[in-house]
Amino acid sequence: MERIRAYVENNRQRFLEELLEFLRIPSVSADPAHRRDVRRAAEFVRQRLEAAGVDRARLVDTPGHPVVLGEKLIDPSLPTVLVYGHYDVQPADPLELWRTPPFEPVLRDGCIHGRGASDDKGQLYVHIKAIEYLRNAGFPCNLRFLLEGEEESGSLSLPAVLDGHRADLAADVALVSDTAMLPDNMPAITVGLRGLAAVEVIVRGASRDLHSGIFGGAVANPVHVLCRLIADLHDEHHRIAVPGIYDRVLAVGPEERALMAGAGLDADWYCREVGVPAVVCEEGFSPFECTTIRPSLDVNGIRGGYAGEALKTVLPAEACAKISVRLVPEQRSEVVSGQLEEWLRNRAPAGVEVEVRRLHGGEPVHVPLDFPGYLAAKRAMTEVFGREPLPVRGGGSIPVVALLQERLGLRTVLMGFGQDSDAIHSPNERFGIDNYLRGIMASIRFLQLLPTVMA
């Protein structure tokens, strides 16, 4: 451990500079204008893997963005770890809210600031630097890499890549660093992720936008209808009102709930972190529970009519919204999007037509605490952080985790080094420098400990 600490400290400056270079590439997967930048980020990652001693580092083209694969196979009798990460990032807007430009990363207040610093370029780069160390110190196990560029836009090309490269991805366990720890430097290992079921709903009224003086009062307004539909999606207990949606929600036991209650994420934390006067939660559950062990439904965006300068007295022909539901075990995205679709359609009032389009989905996951991967991660984090990590669920979604389980029978260790206050997907995203460096150490120790834990 001391050798590792010294190596990381001695190379700190270079590790930071390399990450800054990575962050300068605006690899926004959702924006077609950045297609070439996304590819440049893939090339960057490929080249860095190769430089760290990884064999066959290569780009696999897909209908979307390339997937980067690579491997270091040293001994078939040793375990094999599949490292997953994503090199794409979320769009950076609204730009004016950034203190420094999103793709001109800087070090400030002990953090690396820039789009992708925490989600997920910084956390992905952790493993590349760990491999660099192991190249000199000796590889303790076999390694494979699966680094994608479409996570932030739904991992649509990933299932085909998994099916087409089964042999290249064969492993004993997957390792993913794309999640957060707990406040106050409390280390944590993520043991669950929520899934996602999303739809777009379009309400259509008249065949054109109308003058609200000539027609207002006589014709249904699609914006009103959409707002009513959305308002009715929750009941007065802040539960989702769609029938059947809670049918397959597993109750979580009192021990896990007690652990969550003591994890430092109380209502005050949420209020302070996001600047709200009060939290609004499903009755009977804490905010931490509502964002991890309970499903939640949000309108992600809404459009309709005129909201620009001055006033345009229009009666809109159309209104639409994107709605997504975060899922928990044992909910299935197909079932939930179906329930949502049916509910929306059946409530269409006279005078409008309601169309529902299903958007991509992803399944929830829960990782057991008693498999070798988890035990190795727990020991690695304890050594590096000086405290035993807590097992906690995360509220976000990482589609690959369920796909690896379903298609390759692979369990995933979610050993992330972010903080919920890293502002991922928001302006001023950042990643603590200490967490970046500790991440590198924890990755090294995980890979060294896994073979002994598995033996």
391 binds ligand BES (CB under 6 A): no
Closest CA relative to residue 46, chosen from 141, 119, 148, 126: 148
**Which positions from 169 through 198 interact with Mn ion, judged by CB under 5 A?**
178
The one of ligand BES, Mn ion, none whose footprint includes residue 64, by CB under 5 to 8 A per kind, is none
397 binds ligand BES (CB under 6 A): yes
255 is catalytic: no
Rounded Cα gap, residues 271 and 419, in angstroms = 16
On whether the CB atoms of residues 27 and 88 are closer than 8 A, the answer is yes
On whether the CB atoms of residues 196 and 324 are closer than 8 A, the answer is yes
CB of residue 351 to ligand BES, shortest distance in Å: 35
Which contacts qualify for 31-36: CB closer than 8 Å, 24 or more apart? 31/91, 35/65
Q: Is 59 left (phi over 0), alpha (psi -120 to 50) or beta?
A: beta
Catalytic residue among 18, 37, 71, 88: 88
119 binds Mn ion (CB under 5 A): yes
Cβ nearer to ligand BES, comparing 90 with 448: 90
Residue 257 CB: number of other CB atoms within 10 A? 15
429 binds ligand BES (CB under 6 A): no
152 binds ligand BES (CB under 6 A): yes
Cβ nearer to ligand BES, comparing 105 with 451: 105
Rounded Cα gap, residues 147 and 446, in angstroms = 19
Rounded Cα gap, residues 59 and 147, in angstroms = 10
Cβ nearer to ligand BES, comparing 154 with 451: 154
Cβ nearer to ligand BES, comparing 361 with 372: 361
Q: What are phi and psi of 189, to 5 degrees?
A: -120, 130
| Residue window 66-105: x/- pattern of binding to Mn ion, with contact defined by CB under 5 A | ----------------------------------------
CB of residue 297 to ligand BES, shortest distance in Å: 14
396 binds ligand BES (CB under 6 A): yes
CB of residue 431 to ligand BES, shortest distance in Å: 12
* Number of residues that this document lists for the chain: 455
439 binds ligand BES (CB under 6 A): no
372 binds ligand BES (CB under 6 A): no
Query: Of the candidates 151, 289, 318, 341, which one interacts with ligand BES according to CB under 6 A?
Result: 151
Rounded Cα gap, residues 94 and 92, in angstroms = 6
Cβ nearer to ligand BES, comparing 71 with 422: 422
Query: Residue 81 forms beta bridges with which residues?
Result: 143, 173
Closest CA relative to residue 178, chosen from 159, 141, 151, 143: 151
On whether the CB atoms of residues 20 and 112 are closer than 8 A, the answer is yes
55 is catalytic: no
CB of residue 422 to Mn ion, shortest distance in Å: 11
Sole window of 62-70, 151-159, 312-320, 328-336 interacting with ligand BES (rule: CB under 6 A): 151-159
Spatial neighbors of 108 by CB under 8 A, at least 6 apart, are 99, 100
Rounded to 5 degrees, what angle do the CA atoms 378, 273, 423 make? Answer: 70
Query: Of the candidates 180, 229, 265, 401, which one interacts with ligand BES according to CB under 6 A?
Result: 180
Sole window of 1-9, 112-120, 208-216, 222-230 interacting with Mn ion (rule: CB under 5 A): 112-120
Cβ nearer to ligand BES, comparing 81 with 398: 398
Q: Site size for ligand BES, by CB under 6 A?
A: 16
Q: Give the catalytic positions in this structure.
A: 88, 151
